[in-house]
Amino acid sequence: VLCNSGGLQEIPLKLLPPTVEHLSLTRNDFPIIKSDSFAGLRFLKKLSLDGNNISLIKPFAFRGLPRLRDLSIQHTPLETVSPFAFAGLQNISAIFLSYNKIKKVESYAFAGTINLKQLVLAHNPLLKLESNAFTGMTEIDRITLPSGIRTLEADCFNGLDTLGHLQLAFMDLRHLKGGIFRGLTNVNYLSIQESDLGNIEGDAFNDMTFVRNLNILNNKIDSIQWLNFTWEQHVGHLRFQGNHILEIPRAETLLVEVEKLTVIQNHFPCDCHVHSLLDGPLANGSMIHFVSKNYCISPLEVNGLPMSSIDIDSIGRCQEEVTRGNLEASKDSSSSAQRLSTFCSYLNLMLYFLKLLRIT
């Protein structure tokens, strides 16, 4: 059924045959999609609402469409994906929401939607993903997000279970804060790339589990406060490649327990902190391989040079590292002296008892 460019101001549900399978209502003039707007169209497989004046989609707008496979709402002034707007779509294959004015995806917008092949949100001025934006979605092949996202709230991916492919690209973040990936589980491919990540804060990657491939590619990273991957998270291959890191993280703030680790083509400061970097887990146990595959970003005179081309040993350690090393050495020395003193006291006591036995 084609009802295109008809000037419709509301969805003509009562005029539609209940057996309709393909329905196109493009370039009309209805501003709101109400709850249960298509109830009763149980045979509907494809629905296009492109080019309408849609500004609001109410909760459960598409309830009662058990056979719906393709849903397209594109080229509209829609700014917000409201809670439960696309909830309960059980067998849908694709939801196309490109070329709208979407700035925000609110909590539980897609709750209960399963078996989705692709959710496309590209080409929207989306600046913020709210907490629980994708909660309740399961068995999703691919989510395509637009570039330019500036805020990822904690738990924005919480409850997203069994995801094939998620790419977060061209973001402009002040920080990658804790809890963003909390609750994200069973992911085949997650890529964070071509973005300004600002500061990676503590527990940013905590509580994400069963991620087969995690790529952190070609980003600018101001600092890494804490990078934590444990065996309990079951991360397969972590690829840390092509990033520009402005401040080297301390070795004790890095815990990288993954099945496979690749750290290549990154740019690190070649300053006094480089020794901590080479002693830490990112070097993956091979300083020679690490310096041959990564580059210097500073000081200016070595910018862009392979780390292997500079004399690492000629770079002095930072004062705090020297101080910490001296303290540890002092502790070891004190401990050794204490053990020696204890042994000597024990030996003197034994000699005293032997002398007493000889007298008696």
Average pLDDT over residues 262-280: 95
What's the whole-number mean pLDDT along residues 64-75?
Answer: 96
Over range 53-82, report the average pLDDT. 96
Q: Are residue 55 and residue 177 in the same domain, yes or no? A: yes
Residue 56 lies in a domain: yes
Structural domain boundaries enclosing 247: 13-318
Residue 215 main-chain phi, psi, to 5 deg: -110, 130
The per-residue pLDDT for 326 is 45
pLDDT for 179 beyond 50: yes
128 within some domain: yes
332 and 282 in a common domain = no
Same structural domain, 193 and 70: yes
The DSSP string of 178-246 is TTTTTT-EEEEEEEEESSEEEEE-TTTTTT-EEEEEEEEES-EEEEES-EEE-GGG-EEEEEEES-EES
5, part of any domain: no
Per the CB < 8 A criterion, the answer to whether 268 and 248 are in contact is yes
* Residue 343 and residue 221 share a domain: no
Q: Are residues 314 and 328 in the same domain?
A: no
The whole-number pLDDT of residue 35 equals: 96
Provide the 3-class DSSP secondary structure of residue 339: helix
Same domain, 216 and 354: no
Q: Is residue 4 part of a domain?
A: no
Using an 8 Å Cβ cutoff, are 40 and 18 in contact?
Answer: yes
Residue matched to tokens 């980003």: 219
Q: Is residue 55 domain-resident?
A: yes
Instruction: Give the mean pLDDT of 331-360.
Output: 61
Residue 8: per-residue pLDDT: 86
Token digits of residue 67: 């056979």
Average pLDDT of the residues in 120-147: 93
In this prediction, residue 206 has a pLDDT band, given cuts at 50, 70 and 90, of: confident
249/350 same-domain check: no
pLDDT tens digit sequence for 235-269: 999 999 999 999 998 888 999 999 999 999 999 99
**Which residue carries 């990540």 as its tokens?**
197
Residues 117 and 213 in one domain: yes
Q: Are residues 312 and 329 in the same domain?
A: no
**Domain count within the chain:** 2
Do 47 and 85 have their domain in common? yes
CATH number, domain with residue 285: 3.80.10.10
Query: Is residue 58 one of the residues assigned to a domain?
Result: yes
Is 195 in the same domain as 326? no
> Concatenated DSSP letters for 78-106?
--EE-TTTTTT--S--EEE--SS---EE-
pLDDT at 358: 63
Q: Are 64 and 41 in contact (CB under 8 A)?
A: yes
Q: Mean of the pLDDT values across residues 48-63?
A: 96
* Token reading at 295: 């580059």
The position carrying tokens 């004399």 is: 311
Same domain for 260 and 348, yes or no, is no
8 domain residue, yes or no: no
- A 10 A CB-CB count for 38 gives 22
